[in-house]
């Protein structure tokens, strides 16, 4: 039976990430990542208060005692509407922002209450992310060679034409060697987990997969986005210190367990929004004009399978009269 189209929360979340990106953009290339992140947090929090939802931050800027705003457990939204889990990363890639490098983005994801997997004290996760063509054909327990061949077969290309993104870290050296031994191409990045995962699931980006160890909270956010894009993500916790390992085990997490996509985020109606801060490969950064600025965003809803690329034009003259967010460049 056909359903009457209902409210798309993602379009409201778009305003949230746009505000965060515009506020953070004032700090691009200034070498002050904390200031840029703080500006984005303030803007995101202010705009979230206007969104019609009963949200709880499950992935935020830290615990309440360490992060004054957007902390884990904080209530967000206007308290009306559906109960939701909320994951935020006001600036994904704070180093990229501080240095003016590509692919720093403002990100938010929302799912029904209880749908998001709680990473707890786990900071790092081994990940495998692919797009719709290779969904259901890869396995984190398989070898790198087997997964690369499966991706190539699914996309109708040679293994030597497959491009994989990894964070350039010592912890990923073994996987980097394995990929090169098979003959696939690698794009190494210095920071950022979410942006390359989006590229692996979107068409015509030149990226076919993301592999390697990155952030666990970012992995849950990524799962929300990839779900809406029809791709697949799998993960396994990978503590990078004895202290992290001890805390993860004491919290009852299984380090051998492969987390499937449906475990990382469940439910059929998740929302995701991201806005570029610095110029990126698939999202343009904030660009200033004579009268304001332009932004480029991505909005995804899993229930409909719809994703939108949104170009917005913002006028300082208008915004300064209606918003408390300091958008205008310093």
CA distance 286 to 284: 7
For residue 65, the Cα-to-chain-centroid distance in whole angstroms is: 24
Residue 77, marked binder = no
Q: Report which of 257, 267, 253, 202 is spatially closest to residue 234, judged by C-alpha positions.
A: 257
Residue 93, marked binder = yes
The tokens describing 12, both together, are 């409201």
Residue 270, marked binder = no
CA distance 61 to 71: 5
Residue 61, marked binder = yes
Residue 45, marked binder = no
Query: Would you call 197 helix, strand, or coil by DSSP?
Result: helix
Residue 72 and residue 60 in contact, taking contact as beta carbons nearer than 8 Å: yes
Residue 94, marked binder = yes
Number of H helices, E strands in the chain: 10, 13
Query: Would you call 136 helix, strand, or coil by DSSP?
Result: coil
Residue 253, marked binder = no
Residue 256, marked binder = no
Residue 124, marked binder = yes
Residue 170, marked binder = yes
Residue 218, marked binder = yes
Position of tokens 């996987």? 175
The tokens describing 25, both together, are 């953009």
With a CB cutoff of 8 Å and minimum separation 6, the contacts of 68 are none
Residue 169, marked binder = yes
With a CB cutoff of 8 Å and minimum separation 6, the contacts of 14 are 273, 275, 297, 299, 310
Residue 34, marked binder = no
Residues comprising the binding site? 37, 61, 89, 92-94, 124, 169-171, 191-193, 215, 218
Residues comprising the binding site for Mn(2+)? 37, 61, 89, 92, 218
Residues comprising the binding site for substrate? 92-94, 124, 169-171, 191-193, 215
């Amino acid at each position: 039976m056909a359903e009457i189209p209902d409210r798309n929360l993602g379009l409201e979340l778009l305003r949230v990430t746009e505000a965060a990106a515009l506020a953070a953009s004032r700090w691009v290339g200034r070498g002050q990542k904390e200031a840029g992140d703080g500006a984005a947090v303030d803007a995101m929090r202010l705009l979230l208060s206007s969104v019609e939802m009963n949200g709880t931050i499950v992935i935020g800027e830290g615990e309440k005692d360490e992060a004054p705003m957007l902390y884990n457990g904080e209530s967000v939204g206007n308290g009306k509407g559906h109960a939701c889990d909320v994951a935020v990363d006001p600036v994904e890639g704070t180093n990229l922002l501080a240095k003016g490098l590509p692919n720093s983005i403002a990100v938010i994801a929302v799912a029904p209450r209880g749908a998001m997997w709680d990473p707890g004290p786990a900071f790092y996760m081994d990940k495998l992310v692919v797009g719709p063509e290779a969904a259901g054909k890869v396995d984190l327990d398989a070898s790198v060679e087997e997964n690369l061949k499966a991706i190539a077969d699914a996309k109708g290309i040679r293994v030597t034409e497959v491009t994989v993104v990894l964070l350039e870290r010592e912890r990923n050296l073994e996987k980097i060697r394995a990929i090169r031994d098979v003959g696939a191409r690698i794009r190494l990045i210095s920071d950022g987990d979410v942006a390359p995962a989006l590229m692996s699931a979107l068409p015509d980006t030149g990226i076919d997969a993301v592999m390697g160890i990155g952030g666990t909270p970012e992995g849950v956010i990524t799962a929300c986005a990839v779900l809406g894009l029809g791709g697949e993500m799998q993960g396994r916790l990978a503590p990078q210190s004895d202290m992290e390992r001890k805390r993860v085990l004491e919290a009852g997490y299984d380090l051998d367990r492969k987390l499937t996509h449906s475990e990382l985020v469940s439910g059929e109606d998740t929302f995701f929004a991201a806005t570029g801060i610095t110029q990126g490969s698939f999202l343009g950064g904030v660009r200033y004009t004579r009268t304001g600025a332009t932004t480029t965003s991505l909005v995804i809803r899993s229930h409909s399978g719809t994703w939108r690329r949104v170009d917005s034009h913002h006028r300082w003259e208008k915004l300064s009269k209606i918003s408390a967010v300091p958008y205008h460049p310093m």
